[in-house]
Chains A and B, each alone.
Chain A
């Protein structure tokens, strides 16, 4: 599971629908992360375009919280504003993009668990795949 995905998933429990504590989920500190370095220039370039493109959709507060859960406190406190033309970035913007690329796209949670701050239900991540199914009594 990519770190980007954590920004789009919440608790499955119906009763947590209205609670603002069910998003983002809380990631346990024993989560195993895997960083896949990508150095193919073409892919890096298109990934930067992709990141600038979807930055709009990211909820920054939630991202900061998940990164904190996983022991990364390096992100700027506010969502950066980036030049939309990827060929015309300044050094600072390039640095931020590289950081976001490694964090959101290249980092995967391969084993671990996440839980809901509202109902405390725990969901497992195995072999990189999160399982959000609920036991019968909760579904």
Chain B
């Protein structure tokens, strides 16, 4: 369970990533994938402008939304999360036989190459970004979109970029996107003075949400509520006259005790409900680790690999991006 407090006690970087990136993506993959379908323009443009019939890799492809944008490319997409790769597989399988366009009318109008799923020219697999199973110096291009920021120290981030570079041919280009620390205009309101290594909550919603707490799941079907037979008056028909006032007094006492217990239970139930709601909210909130990049930091990391020169770089939608060329 990814608890935000535990994170800071973990010293091992691989363990941090295992618990606060890999496991979380597997837990949220279904919901996450549903929110990731529109290609970002700069990524689409990068793919559109590759040389015809070149071969590339998408490192951290998620649900595979960029794999079928240009039918004159062959792209191998991979992700560390088998949950996300399984989403990518379902999305492809769903439409593979239908010969439906993978692009919307607007995107076709914007000049993207059309591809229908019947001519799938990509493949997907589960692998690790620091041990990519690809021959070195073999690929014409690479993309890695919103991935490098999940590595939990600078050395690992630089190594991840360097590892991608090792797979490219000389002159091959890579497009890398990372989350920006500077996003004053977004609802998150992060700014350059803030902590760069953070946990970002993902709240599961709708069909992806858990509706029962662990407690409720473990409990067998609830006992039926006891119906307390309440009479508006005590039955005095068999009571001798002289004892009736005493019986009524006792009955009234008993009634007020019942009401007191009932009121107590009411408070207890309300507390329980509140507790359950909090527990559920906790259960449906998953924390992912991010390193938020500052202006210039991505280019710095790329240059430190010693493998690349910068072609162009910029900021788009709360992200820093950079196209670099292997030298």
Contacts and interface: CB of A to CB of B under 8 A. Distances in A.
Contact of A133 (B54, B119, B128): B128
B85 A129 contact: yes
B150 to A, nearest CB: 16
A23 interface: yes
Interface string A1-34: 1101100111111100100000100000000000
B295 interface: no
Given A10-B134, A127-B89, A130-B126, A40 B99 contact: yes
Q: Counting chain B CB atoms within 10 Å of each CB, which of A11, A130, A139 scores highest?
A: A130
Given A46-B71, A53-B52, A53-B53, A12 B138 contact: no
A54 B53 contact: yes
A20 B72 CA distance: 30
B84 to A, nearest CB: 11
Interface in A82-113: 105
A12 B133 CA distance: 4
A5 B123 contact: yes
Contacts of A2: 123
Contact of A8 (B55, B89, B127): B55
Nearest to A62: B135
Interface residues of B, number: 34
B82 interface: yes
Interface size class of A (residues with CB under 8 A): 20 to 34
A1 B53 contact: no
B82 A131 contact: yes
Contacts of B234: none
B72 to A, nearest CB: 7
Contacts of A120: none
Interface in B25-63: 52-55
Interface of B: 52-55, 71-72, 74, 76, 78, 80, 82, 85-86, 89, 99, 116, 118-119, 121, 123-128, 130-136, 138-139
8 contacts: A2-B123, A10-B135, A38-B118, A53-B53, A56-B53, A57-B53, A57-B74, A128-B89
Candidate in B125, B128, B138 with the most chain A CB atoms within 10 angstroms: B125
A70 interface: no
A131 B89 CA distance: 13
**Which secondary structure dominates chain B's binding surface?**
mixed
B74 to A, nearest CB: 6
A43 interface: yes
Nearest to B52: A53
B116 A43 contact: yes
A9 B134 contact: yes
Contacts of B134: 8-10
Contacts of B119: 38, 43, 46-47, 50
A4 B133 contact: no
A50 B71 CA distance: 8
Nearest to A124: B126
B128 A12 contact: yes
A119 interface: no
Contacts of B136: 17
B126 A131 contact: yes
Contacts of B89: 127-129
B135 A130 contact: no
Given A4-B123, A8-B139, 16 more contacts: A2-B123, A5-B125, A9-B76, A23-B135, A38-B118, A43-B99, A43-B118, A50-B121, A57-B55, A129-B89, A129-B124, A132-B128, A132-B133, A133-B80, A139-B128, A139-B130
Nearest to B127: A132
Contacts of A57: 53-55, 74, 138
A138 B324 CA distance: 31
A35 interface: no
B133 A10 contact: yes
A77 B124 CA distance: 29
Nearest to A18: B136
Given A46-B119, A129-B126, A131-B125, A14 B135 contact: no
